[in-house]
Amino acid sequence: MIGKTYTTMLGGRELSIETGKLAKLVSGSVTVRYGDTMLLVTAQASDTQSKLDFLPLTVEFEERHYAVGKIPGSFHRREGRPGEKAILSARITDRQIRPLFPKGYRHETQVIITVVSADGQNAPDVLGPIGASAALSLSDIPWAGPTACVRVGQVDGQFVVNPTAEQLSRSRMDLVVAGTKDAVMMVECGAQTVGEDELVAAIEFAHAEMQGVIGLIETMRAELGQEKFNFVAAAGPSVDYVPEMAERALAAGLRDALLTPKKKDRSARTKAVRNAVIEAMVPDVAAEGAEEKIAALKDAYSKVEKQELRRLILEDDLRADGRNSRTVRPIWIEARALPRAHGSAIFTRGETQVLGVTTLGTERDEILIDDLTEETGDKFLLHYNFPPYSTGEVKRMGGQSRREVGHGNLAKRAIRAVLPSFEEFPYVIRVVGDVLESNGSSSMATVCAGILSLMDAGVPIKAPVAGVAMGLVMEGERYRVLTDILGMEDALGDMDFKVCGSAEGVTALQMDIKVGGITPAIMREALAQAREGRLHILGKMAEVLAAPRAELSPTAPRIVSMKINPELIGKVIGPGGKQVRELEAMGAQVTIEEDGTIRIFSADAAAAQAVQAKIAGLTKEAKVGEEFHGTVVKTAAFGAFVNLFPGQDGMLHISQISEERVNAVEDVLKVGDKLHVKIVNIDDRGKIDLVRPELEGKVAPRAPREPRSGDRGDRGPRRDFGDRGDRGPRREGGERREFSGERADRGPRPERTEAGDAPAPAPAADRNSNE
């Protein structure tokens, strides 16, 4: 038998992990199956140590369109760059496994997750981390797992593990949690405003539910796991210099330098202390080995700097910019910062600044999503941009980075929860967060700037939301939670815990840690402290914009919505789209839905109203009892055709034209005459009978036309010519009855005209429509 399969139950469904069957040349390889969703996950490390000073780990999430029986929609008909969803899925795995590699590990390591089958109900994003955990656990790569990952939804008040796509569409939250046997390591959440206690309960529920998967991987490792290879930790000779460097740096004023409020000033002062200490320790820079020693001393100084900062926080509750652990940096805000944007705001918190801009568009502007799900559209876009100048650096500018995708998605989740529905506010909304300065929490500043720009544009959001980034410094049993962390506190700390929400509750949450996990008690404390900081920020925002502006921004386009009979959509579109093109030539965009909803989008209100009036005329439907001042457009022997409104005529019978007997319609009416008429009947084919209101009661009403029926459509049944009515039976032998001037019981033959022809009957179309 090839391969071995291990199974467990998760959320009431079987989860299976198989190894030894596919990709056997790689260090660790498994397939994970849940329902009909299946992933191949591999883990491989290089043989040699990298010279990089960080962990060279890459995680790739590859979506194969054959997994859902699709051919890619790209020009080359093959998969290209990972889409946003694939990038976010890769980040979930990366954030789960990265903290558990040993310190100093520098072997280039790659985890590749390939979705080979997707059933559309069981999402592959939370299966990737399970596969990565199993592959790393079975491999020879040093790693302190296993871990597991689950999604939790809340449907009808109950927590659900790994909800199906249908259940997730009805869930109040979309919570992804990863952890080890003892602690939670990663959290990602979007929610419809839930309380902090409810969130902690959901996270604890997730951690309990993942234990079966962790136990399964432990069993696999015990039975099939390889021995981990040895590696030399990249500590370097700098460790030997740390004690002396600490003593000298503190004596040279390191503490005061670290407590300098401004980032640039602090960097300059700490650098000056470092150079002074190194100069004293290496007086002759040209001496043999001096260059290597200087490099080691610089590394030792970085370690000392980190140690001192952590000591100040834990022992003195004192941070680099002079704040204590619960204080939010100073905030200033400016709304309507850009004159032509639909909505804009600048949000500055300390040395982090974001320009938020809102643009409103039509349904044509929604983004189409072509991944392993059904092709869908998204009417809310949020783009986060992090240019190099925001940190005072020079870097190559290319496409959107994974970090930008991840930060933008977090802000998008936070804001989406409070947006009005498309039916309430029929605009496609794009929010852009341009980071102008960054010294920590730029994604949370994007949430604040984005919400302010939406309110500035007049978007009727349900409630303002804000975001704050929490940090953690932990040494053994001692720890301190930090509110509104700086960039350096993110780097030296043990947790990055971002919390977004309104005054009522949380709308988005993201947690990453650098230690083995945190307990529910620490999480509760962090959430409570985050709420305190969030309410403070919301108060500052309310001082500038407490609610959305009462009207849309003057520069924002207007959308006029109207509803027509779906059967009349063709009149608006016209043959080959001619009519709708003529409407758009009037200065507006027109979108038409199958249910008859029409939206007219224009920056010119007058143009939108003109297009609306035109459509109303094209799709107007006549009703019995309505009166019109119409125009005679045609006359016939039996009456006159009167145009009531564009595209709709009615027939005024000759008996309804005048109180007096009318021998010929043309004696009273001619084409072009204006006439006051009233609709008295509309038959089953939509044909309209008219009368003159002023003659009602003075002339005998004409009986309404009865609908025709029978097996010949609307022409009635075929006569049986065997019985020819009052004409008698046809003579045998095909002989015809002879007629002279008298035509038996049918009366005399009509007189011939001068041309020798009988009077022409009314055209068939006229007879069918008006007789």
For residue 287, the domain's CATH number is 1.10.10
15, 213 Cβ separation under 8 angstroms? yes
Hey, which residues does 174 pair with through a beta bridge? Answer: 153, 190
Instruction: Render pLDDT for 657-667 as a digit per residue (tens, 0 to 9).
Output: 988 888 899 98
User: 53 and 100 share a domain?
Assistant: yes
SS (H, E, C) 104-139: CCCEEEEEEEEEEECCCCCCCCCHHHHHHHHHHHHC
Q: Is pLDDT at 359 greater than 80 in this prediction?
A: yes
Q: Which amino acid makes up residue 67?
A: A
* pLDDT for the residue 761: 44
484 annotated to bind ligand:
no
| More confident position, 46 or 561 | 46
Contact residues for 44 (Cβ-Cβ < 8 A; gap 6+) = 26, 27, 28, 109, 110, 139, 141
User: 12 and 161 share a domain?
Assistant: yes
* pLDDT for the residue 731: 43
Residue 461: inside a domain, yes or no?
yes
* pLDDT for the residue 107: 95
* pLDDT for the residue 370: 66
For residue 582, the domain's CATH number is 3.30.1370.10
Instruction: Render pLDDT for 377-386 as a digit per residue (tens, 0 to 9).
Output: 789 999 999 9
Taking the C-alpha atoms of residue 467 and residue 267, their distance in angstroms, rounded to an integer, is: 27
Q: Is pLDDT at 754 greater than 80 in this prediction?
A: no
Instruction: Render pLDDT for 583-623 as a digit per residue (tens, 0 to 9).
Output: 999 988 898 888 899 989 888 878 888 999 888 888 888 88
User: 674 and 577 share a domain?
Assistant: no
User: 275 and 372 share a domain?
Assistant: no
Tokens of 78: 């093959």
Instruction: Render pLDDT for 60-69 as a digit per residue (tens, 0 to 9).
Output: 999 999 998 9
* pLDDT for the residue 52: 84
Pick from 467, 464, 379: which is nearest to 430 by CA? 379
90, 402 Cβ separation under 8 angstroms? yes
Peptide bond into 693 cis (omega under 30): no
Taking the C-alpha atoms of residue 551 and residue 771, their distance in angstroms, rounded to an integer, is: 55
User: What is the three-class DSSP state of 195?
Assistant: coil
Long-range contacts of 566-571 (CB under 8 A, 24+ apart): 566/594, 566/595, 566/596, 568/596, 568/618, 568/619, 568/621, 569/594, 569/596, 571/618, 571/619, 571/647
First to last CA, the chain: 84
- Which range in 210-214, 439-443, 717-721 is most confidently predicted, on average pLDDT? 210-214
What's the number of CA atoms in the CB half-sphere (13 Å) around residue 113? Answer: 31
28 band by pLDDT with thresholds 50, 70 and 90 = very high
499, 523 Cβ separation under 8 angstroms? no
For residue 373, the domain's CATH number is 3.30.230.70
473, 362 Cβ separation under 8 angstroms? no
Pick from 248, 247, 259, 179: which is nearest to 214 by CA? 179
User: 276 and 366 share a domain?
Assistant: no
Question: Torsions phi, psi of 622, nearest 5?
Answer: -75, 150
Q: Can you say how many angstroms the Cα of residue 639 is from the centroid of all Cα atoms in its chain? A: 60
Q: Can you say how many angstroms the Cα of residue 461 is from the centroid of all Cα atoms in its chain? A: 16
What's the structural domain count of the chain?
Answer: 5
* pLDDT for the residue 307: 92
Q: Which residue is it, tokens 């890619």?
A: 72
Strands in 216-342 per DSSP E = 331-335
553-581: average pLDDT: 88
User: What is the three-class DSSP state of 243?
Assistant: helix
Residue 562: inside a domain, yes or no?
yes
Q: What percent of the chain has pLDDT over 70?
A: 89
Tokens of 526: 């962090």
Handedness of CA 73, 79, 83, 88 (dihedral sign): positive
Residue 16: inside a domain, yes or no?
yes
35, 122 Cβ separation under 8 angstroms? yes
User: What is the three-class DSSP state of 561?
Assistant: strand
Q: Is pLDDT at 768 greater than 90 in this prediction?
A: no
Instruction: Render pLDDT for 458-480 as a digit per residue (tens, 0 to 9).
Output: 999 999 999 999 999 998 888 99
User: 479 and 566 share a domain?
Assistant: no
* pLDDT for the residue 743: 43
Find the helix or strand (DSSP H, E) in which 186 lies. strand 184-194
307-336: average pLDDT: 93
* pLDDT for the residue 767: 36
* pLDDT for the residue 374: 65
236 band by pLDDT with thresholds 50, 70 and 90 = low
* pLDDT for the residue 729: 46
Contact residues for 424 (Cβ-Cβ < 8 A; gap 6+) = 460
* pLDDT for the residue 730: 46
* pLDDT for the residue 456: 96
714 annotated to bind ligand:
no
Taking the C-alpha atoms of residue 362 and residue 121, their distance in angstroms, rounded to an integer, is: 30
User: 614 and 637 share a domain?
Assistant: no
Taking the C-alpha atoms of residue 769 and residue 771, their distance in angstroms, rounded to an integer, is: 6
Pick from 237, 240, 228: which is nearest to 100 by CA? 228
Residue 764: inside a domain, yes or no?
no
Residues in the chain: 771
470, 489 Cβ separation under 8 angstroms? no
755 band by pLDDT with thresholds 50, 70 and 90 = very low
User: 22 and 152 share a domain?
Assistant: yes
Taking the C-alpha atoms of residue 403 and residue 409, their distance in angstroms, rounded to an integer, is: 10
Q: Choose one of 542, 566, 586: the last residue of a domain.
A: 542
Long-range contacts of 259-266 (CB under 8 A, 24+ apart): 259/312, 259/318, 259/320, 259/321, 259/322, 260/320, 260/321, 261/321, 261/322, 262/321, 262/351, 263/351, 263/439, 263/486, 263/487, 264/392, 266/320, 266/321
Residue 230: inside a domain, yes or no?
no
Find the helix or strand (DSSP H, E) in which 559 lies. strand 558-563
Pairing relation of β-strands 506-513 and 184-194? antiparallel
Contact residues for 511 (Cβ-Cβ < 8 A; gap 6+) = 184, 186, 187, 188, 495, 496, 497, 498, 523
DSSP code, position 329: P
Taking the C-alpha atoms of residue 518 and residue 148, their distance in angstroms, rounded to an integer, is: 15
* pLDDT for the residue 371: 67
Taking the C-alpha atoms of residue 753 and residue 314, their distance in angstroms, rounded to an integer, is: 117
Q: What is the mean pLDDT of the chain?
A: 87
Residue 280: inside a domain, yes or no?
yes
Hey, which residues does 378 pair with through a beta bridge? Answer: 367
| Angle of CA points 87, 93, 99, to nearest 5° | 125
Burial level of 544, CB count in 10 A (0-12/13-18/19+)? middle
Give the burial string for 419-434 (b: 16+ CB within 10 Å, else e). Answer: beeeeebbbbbbbbbb
633, 669 Cβ separation under 8 angstroms? no
Burial level of 724, CB count in 10 A (0-12/13-18/19+)? exposed
* pLDDT for the residue 732: 43
Which stretches within 282-388 are classed as H helix? Answer: 290-316
* pLDDT for the residue 407: 94
Q: Is pLDDT at 88 greater than 50 in this prediction?
A: yes
Pick from 131, 144, 141: which is nearest to 29 by CA? 131
Pick from 532, 538, 378, 390: which is nearest to 452 by CA? 538
Q: Is pLDDT at 747 greater than 70 in this prediction?
A: no
375 band by pLDDT with thresholds 50, 70 and 90 = low
User: 114 and 178 share a domain?
Assistant: yes
Pick from 488, 487, 452: which is nearest to 467 by CA? 452
Q: Which amino acid makes up residue 376?
A: T
Taking the C-alpha atoms of residue 524 and residue 545, their distance in angstroms, rounded to an integer, is: 30
Pick from 532, 160, 38, 600: which is nearest to 362 by CA? 600
Strands in 603-673 per DSSP E = 627-636, 639-645, 648-653
Contact residues for 588 (Cβ-Cβ < 8 A; gap 6+) = 600, 601, 602, 604, 607, 608, 611
234 band by pLDDT with thresholds 50, 70 and 90 = low
Taking the C-alpha atoms of residue 270 and residue 250, their distance in angstroms, rounded to an integer, is: 11
Tokens of 248: 């000298």
User: Model-level pTM greater than 0.75?
Assistant: yes
For residue 735, the domain's CATH number is 2.40.50.140
* pLDDT for the residue 561: 86
User: What is the three-class DSSP state of 289?
Assistant: coil
Taking the C-alpha atoms of residue 123 and residue 161, their distance in angstroms, rounded to an integer, is: 12
Q: Choose one of 172, 197, 224: the last residue of a domain.
A: 224
253 band by pLDDT with thresholds 50, 70 and 90 = very high
User: 124 and 265 share a domain?
Assistant: no
Residue 769: inside a domain, yes or no?
no
Taking the C-alpha atoms of residue 293 and residue 295, their distance in angstroms, rounded to an integer, is: 5
**What is the DSSP annotation of 404-464?**
HHHHHHHHHHHHHTTSPPTTTS--EEEEEEEEEE-SS-HHHHHHHHHHHHHHHHT---SS-
Q: Please give the residue range of the domain that contains residue 171.
A: 4-224
Residue 423: inside a domain, yes or no?
yes
Question: Torsions phi, psi of 91, nearest 5?
Answer: -65, -35
Q: Can you say how many angstroms the Cα of residue 5 is from the centroid of all Cα atoms in its chain? A: 37
User: 512 and 583 share a domain?
Assistant: no
User: 337 and 305 share a domain?
Assistant: no
738 band by pLDDT with thresholds 50, 70 and 90 = very low
Question: Torsions phi, psi of 640, nearest 5?
Answer: -125, 140
